Structure 1
Amino acid sequence: MTSVRRWAGVWRGGVYLLVSLLSGIVTVLALPVLCVPRLARPWADRHRDRAGRLLGLPTASRSAPRAAHRLAGAGPSTGRDLLWLPVHAVIGVAIGLPALLCVGNVVTGVVVTTLWWAFAPEDRPRPFVDVPVTGWATALTLGPLQILLLLALAYVCFPPMARAHARICLAVLSRSTAEQLADRVAVLTRTRADVLDAHGAELRRIERDLHDGTQARLVAIAMRLAVARQALSDDPRDERFLEELLRDAHEGTEEAMTELRGVISTVYPPILADRGLAGALTAVTARCGVPTRLSIGDIDRVPAAVEAVVYFAVAEALTNVVKHSRATTAAVRVSRTAGRLSVVVTDDGTGGADDRRGTGLAGIRGRVLALDGLVDIDSPAGGPTTITMELPCGS
């Protein structure tokens, strides 16, 4: 199993190095265009995300700069984004070319071993730079030997070379402590204002629901009971009239209770108190119109405010999947690492989700940011869509 993981790391490192070579060449060719800050920022963000994924950094540390850019403006980060362009143009090409040569010569070894006979003598691939292949004995000796030596080189060198590039990337693009603090203050100031607006709107909605619905029904019940009381004092023998009034009052009471439960459920879903977060999410995924797989790790006790945010966010995300994504399957994964709760919602739909176009994603982001959490939405055109949320939940 260790060997399999090691070769998986070699594969990831090789892909990372080859993509870095390609993006380094693109950076050289498109340098005048990428020097525009508006274009340099997403280019730098893309490399920061790649580096973070390779090094196994949490999503929070990768998505924080992007959220800060949106809410706090460019600031000093623009200088780092522009600095990354020449740095990556140099190290991306320098560190990617050896990987390309290694992979290319492995392919050459395979061709030499199996297809040497299909080439004219003067056009045959030559292993070990310039060793001629004269027959099967030479091909079956030099070809596999070249493949084995280069695979051994890749096994030893690809992972550390890829990690070195990723560390350089994060070192150039990382923010100072003062900048991180300034960005965090800007984010919290913005989200605090959003939360206050949302809180006021929610209070007005609850007041309107109670006034127009529950209160109106309770007034009607009180009036029916008053009429029944008066009828009872006037003519106790009119049982049919009294029965109708009491039946109407009873039905009105049940309807008022149903409406009241509906209002309460929008504040804090009763299912969370009854079944906990795991049970509530099980119910949400079971009701989803798209087959949804739920995976919940050992999350221990989660604060009530975090439970409510996760519940509403997952419910809204799955609603979006049903309404907009045209997906055939979805998945929800909840896990906890130390003091952070991670929630990942994925679907195999058409992608293109954007919180700037509504679709409920803005509400999800607002709920999560209000608790000092982080949200990352990865939804390229054509799919798939991945929404990652991380919330602090104590240690």
Structure 2
Amino acid sequence: MSAVWGGVRRTVPTMVLMAPSSVVTALFPLALLVAALAIVAGGVGLVFLPMVLVVLRLWTDTHRVLAGHLLGRPVRRRFQPLRGGVFSWWRGVFGDPTTWRDLAWLPVQVVIGLPLGLLTALLLGLLLASLGGTLFWWALPDSDPVQLLPGVTIADWGTAVLSGVPVLMVSGVLLIFVVPGLARWWAALTLAVLDRSDAEQLEERVEVLTESRAGALAAHGAELRRIERDLHDGIQARLVSIALRLGIVRQTMTTEPDVASTLLAEASEGVEAAMTELRTIVRAIYPPILADRGLAGAVRSLVADCPVPAHLDLDETGELPAAVETAAYFALAEALTNVAKHSGAKSVDVRVRTAGEWLVVEVTDDGRGGIDEAGGSGVVGIRRRVAALDGVVKVESPAGGPSRIVVELPCGR
């Protein structure tokens, strides 16, 4: 029952808005015609026409998102701002296949969206009118009775029940069981016209994967250089120092035992420091806590060590690929580090859960917000690490807070 009510709550308001939306959509052909005539008349349309098409793209993006919401799947926006000069505008607008889909959608929305919107508004109006007329007809003066339908006047309880209840039931049944189906049909048709073809989506997917692969390779190369630098400048230097001390100890052990003892103590300390540094480097490659306690234990450790008071909501995630656990661990560690260093937050909420075939990590803080990815916030590093696994990172951080980072990683289930 809750699913049925959720479908009604999601679809009915959207379909009611289809009537005024279709009226607005019908204005675009007129604006395009005026822009075309302006080209002939004085050349102003050279500027005006691309602008109208950009506004149209914003309008169709709204309907793309609405259609995706009704079908329960995300849809990418296709808006592209105008860049360069006027000729670049024309080349960018008319060279984009999405523009022609936007134009083809206009008559579809007017012819189909307007009747669907009017039908939904009529059913909703009948539902409210029959409900109000049936229950409150007595509150109106006798000289002005309730006119439910043409020729049907409610002036007594018998008429109210016999005329109002059937209208209430029929309109309610249609709103509950018919309108959601029509809404999903409209959404599927809208996306069939506005969304990209399978070939274009595949091409776009290849571009995204190519970009993410390049970022992952760059991040991997930087990580290898960092490890090599840490090994060369840190551990190797310590081992060379230890080797020199041991060499001196071997030469002075019999002649200067006090000096040899001191050098042995220093060498022992150097070995311990090298071991500590080596463990740090290994932990940066693959945290041992993941192997020892799994993702759940690692997440609890990160939250417990966070300087900002943190609340953890951890669902059962089951067995996950090592690469996914590692990416989730480092993304959470980076996010909590950002909260502690930059947000000024007093508390942070962490939630780790699985949603279908995705592992979802959410970090929400009550700090000042305004995350600037270009300013070294660490989000860029999270994006690169997650993109390497074909994951998604969403950042919501308005000025004044709160901030919310959502990492979604495919589990491969």
Mapped to 2, the partners of 1:295 and 1:89 lie a distance apart of: 46
Tell me the residue number matched to 1:377: 394
Amino acid at match of 1:213: G
CA contact under 8 A between 2:320 and 2:411: conserved in structure 1? no
Amino acid at match of 1:391: P
Mapped to 1, the partners of 2:274 and 2:236 lie a distance apart of: 8
Classify the secondary structure of the residue corresponding to 2:177: helix
CA contact under 8 A between 1:127 and 1:146: conserved in structure 2? no
Mapped to 1, the partners of 2:151 and 2:188 lie a distance apart of: 37
Mapped to 2, the partners of 1:376 and 1:102 lie a distance apart of: 41
- Corresponding position: 1:186 with 2:207: yes
Instruction: Choose from 83, 99, 105 the match for 2:120.
Output: 99
Instruction: Choose from 62, 67, 70 the match for 1:54.
Output: 70
- RMSD over aligned CA atoms reads 3.9
Amino acid at match of 2:70: L
Tell me the residue number matched to 1:88: 109
- 1:360, CA displacement in angstroms? 3.2
Instruction: Identify the range of structure 1 (225-234 vs 146-155) with the bigger mean alpha-carbon deviation.
Output: 225-234
- 1:361, CA displacement in angstroms? 3.2
Instruction: Identify the range of structure 1 (184-193 vs 17-26) with the bigger mean alpha-carbon deviation.
Output: 17-26
CA contact under 8 A between 1:113 and 1:139: conserved in structure 2? yes
Q: What's the TM-score, normalizing by structure 1? A: 0.76
Q: What's the TM-score, normalizing by structure 2? A: 0.74
Classify the secondary structure of the residue corresponding to 1:215: helix
Residue by residue, what CA displacement relative to the aligned partner does 1:85-126 show, whole Å, maximum 9, x if unpaired? 553354333322222222233222333344444445566653
Q: 1:145 to 1:342 in 2, by over 3 A?
A: same
CA contact under 8 A between 1:286 and 1:292: conserved in structure 2? no
Residue by residue, what CA displacement relative to the aligned partner does 1:40-70 show, whole Å, maximum 9, x if unpaired? 555544433443343244x5xx35x76999x
- 1:160, CA displacement in angstroms? 0.6
- Which of the pair has the greater relative contact order for Cα pairs under 8 Å at 6+ separation? 1
Mapped to 2, the partners of 1:53 and 1:364 lie a distance apart of: 27
- 1:157, CA displacement in angstroms? 0.7
- 1:346, CA displacement in angstroms? 5.9
Structure 2 residues not aligned, in runs of 5+: 32-47, 82-91
Mapped to 1, the partners of 2:68 and 2:207 lie a distance apart of: 24
Structure 1 residues not aligned, in runs of 5+: none
- 1:172, CA displacement in angstroms? 1.2
- 1:171, CA displacement in angstroms? 0.8
Alignment of 1:1-395 (within 5 A): 3-21=1-19, 23-28=21-26, 36=52, 38-41=54-57, 43-57=59-73, 59=74, 62-63=75-76, 75-121=96-142, 125-128=146-149, 131-136=152-157, 138-139=159-160, 142-236=163-257, 238=258, 242-288=260-306, 289=308, 290-298=310-318, 300-302=319-321, 304-320=322-338, 323-324=342-343, 329-337=349-357, 341-345=358-362, 347=364, 359-371=377-389, 373-375=390-392, 377=394, 379=396, 381=398, 385=404, 387=406, 389-391=408-410, 393=412
Percent of pairs with identical residues: 43
Q: 1:257 to 1:384 in 2, by over 3 A?
A: closer
CA contact under 8 A between 1:14 and 1:159: conserved in structure 2? yes
How many residue pairs match? The answer is 376
Mapped to 2, the partners of 1:116 and 1:348 lie a distance apart of: 53
- 1:263, CA displacement in angstroms? 1.8
- 1:206, CA displacement in angstroms? 2.0
Instruction: Identify the range of structure 1 (28-37 vs 174-183) with the bigger mean alpha-carbon deviation.
Output: 28-37
